[in-house]
Copies of this chain bind each other. A is one copy, B any other.
């Protein structure tokens, strides 16, 4: 390989290392950046100069994140320098957010929907409307958007955003990525991924799992999704469909699942299972869950008993996942994060009984820190990935203007 090429490769990798650090932290001193990247002080100075000139970084006087002492020169990501659009399709709601580099949420909208199945056409049209709303900056030109990330409660073929199966949306074989690319008219790439995968990504970058390399993120809603990170990499599988932990077979004498199988984990621990166990309408949705949690809060024994049952099954399934993945941390998102304080002891007890020593010895379990927005924030992270990987390409390309 000619020396020039190798040197350009190194240059791109070093720029990437700096942009990743800036994106992942609020601000830091140059010295911190030197320590974190392992680059020399002079290399950091030169590269930061390029990033500031290209609009991706800012240098200013301030207090480094978390640092003591008097204000000094700090560097930070320039949120205005690069934006992405994040979209989310969950069972109960649609959401959109415009997010700037560094994770700054410029604008966010969420549209609650009545429970039920919607046509893809309708969902795509609604998402396009939400996208226009977050791009609208009241008279200002629309923010240039480099990419679109989409979180969806479905198995997703990552290559092109095709959904072979979304039982909880009632969809099969939908080219969601292509449909959104057409409907949004932004002429930027659309990346689609499973909602739980993106929740895991967000929790690792900015939530309960910062600094961890081996986690299992399990999100309970109507469906139960999993996002698994192994040695810092998201588990995708051969075609991008991995992590469907809601469809572990846990009860051969159990209930029919939306996927067509019987006794899947989500039939024992998903939202409908909780509502069923307390005698509620299983399709009561978030209002019903809110009511159930309020009853638990008030000490309603029937609800607490139902939560113990859910907690027992939650612990059983987690034990299987711990035996399979030996993670350092299990993060419980969505419904599971909300019920965690009622089921913490029973989950710990099940893990103690059913998970293997070794795998369970250094295990922590924690509720998600980002709450309901974890998948949406993960969709933004997905869309930032090209800029984080190769900021040089972004610097050499004039920002694309939004055409919406």
Contacts and interface: CB of A to CB of B under 8 A. Distances in A.
Contact of A261 (B247, B253, B353): B353
Contacts of A245: 323-324
Contacts of A236: 231, 326
Nearest to A261: B354
Interface in A122-180: 155, 157, 164-165, 172
Interface string A234-277: 01111111111101111111000001111000000000000000
A62 interface: no
A237 B326 contact: yes
Interface stretch (A202-210, A299-307, A314-322): A314-322
Chain A interface size, as a band, is 35 or more
A181 to B, nearest CB: 21
B323 A239 contact: no
A325 interface: yes
A260 B316 CA distance: 13
Given A230-B230, A261-B319, A356-B155, A327 B238 contact: yes
A320 B239 contact: no
A385 interface: no
Contact of A239 (B248, B250, B362): B362
B319 A244 contact: no
A247 B320 contact: yes
A259 B241 CA distance: 31
A249 to B, nearest CB: 5
Contact of A359 (B230, B244, B249, B250): B244
Contacts of A240: 326
Contacts of A260: 353
A316 B242 contact: no
